[in-house]
Each structure stands twice: as structure tokens, then as C-alpha cells.
Amino acid sequence: MFKRTGQKKLGRKQSHRHALVKNQVRSLFVDGRVTTTTPKAKVLKANAESLLKKAEKGADELATVRYLNMMLGDARLVKAVQEYVAAGNTGVTIMKVGFRAGDNSEKSKVQVTGYAGVKKHVKRKKVTADSKKKEAEVKEATKQQTELAAQEGAKDDKIGSKIAKSFRSRIGGSNKGKSTVRSGI
């Protein structure tokens, strides 16, 4: 019989809480660090350590890889976490940072020790002649659209000025010096 195995509710329903934890774990392994409130940081640390322990125990098992894919949602992240676990020295730390300006709640930084993040694993797009041509075509099309919009705006201004002139001539033409409003006397 296991007692005291409850979890922090974080003021959310179960589905929202699970989504929050998944998103924070993903952000943690993308950047290597996350700044959040202290209660969320404690829950995040527990979940991240659990994920790292599962990755250590079943490094080559299909079930472990599927679990990592479910939690992290990206093959590059899974690969980076597996490399990190294989290197050893896994750990997650919490540092209290200060207080949030809006509601004065305590903020903490959660950090994976010795983990740089996945940004170095991101492949950049190769710039080719075709992509440069497409980019130039898009720029030219937007330039033409802005010129057409400016011309339309000029036409609207001309029409508006004609309407204003006709309105002024009606008001100021025959009734110069006289009020156009009937008195209620």
C-alpha cells in the first residue's frame, strides 16, 4: 500500500495539467532551461527526472523510444535526449530566480545539467537559386500590390475631395452668413 503518492494539481484539470507538463518538458529539452513559477518547476523537475530515468533504463527498447516520442513529440529531441543519457551525468536542477512582476509569485529556473539543447541539431535550409528566384518573385508581387493599393487610395482621396467640395458649396453657397439650422422659437 503506497500512501502519499499524490501529485500537485496546479489549479488545473487533469487534461490541462498533462498538456502543461508535456509542453514544459518539451521546452526544457529544446532550450536546456525553463523559467516558471516554483510549484510548476517542482512538478517539471520530477517529470523530467522520470523521463531521463526511463531513457537510461531502456535505452534500446522500442517501448522507451515510443514513450519519448509521445512526451517530446520530435525525433530530433528524442535523439538528443538519448545522446545526453548515453553520455552520463544526467540531472535536473532548480534555482530560485526572483519574483514575477505581475502577481509577485516566486519564479524558478529549471535546468538540465550539462545539456546544451537541440538548437545545435537543427538543420538549416540550403539556399538555392530556385529559392532565391521565388523570394524575388514574392518581393516583386508584394511591391506591385502596395503600389496598386496606393493608387486606389489616391483615387479615394480624389473622390472624397470632390464630395467635400460639393458639400461645402451647398452649405456655403446661397446661405452665406445665415444659419442653416432652424431655430426652435
pLDDT of residue 163: 67
All residues at 6 or more sequence positions from 130 whose CB lies less than 8 Å from its CB, including other chains: none
**pTM of the shown model:** 0.61
Contacts of 32 (CB under 8 A, 6+ apart): 111, 112, 115, 116, 117
Question: What pLDDT is stored for residue 125 in this prediction?
Answer: 63
pLDDT for 93 equals 94
CA 88 to chain centre: 31
- Please list the ranges in the chain whose pLDDT falls under 70: 119-127, 153-185
| Nearest residue to 89 (alpha-carbon basis) of 52, 57, 45, 120 | 52
- Rounded CA-CA distance 85/50 in Å is 12
Q: What is the pLDDT of residue 121?
A: 47
Closest listed residue to residue 33, CA positions, set 118, 98, 123, 120: 118
Counting residues of the chain whose pLDDT is more than 90, the rounded percentage is: 34
Structure confidence at residue 179 (pLDDT): 56
The answer to whether residues 108 and 36 touch, using CB atoms and an 8 Å cutoff, is yes
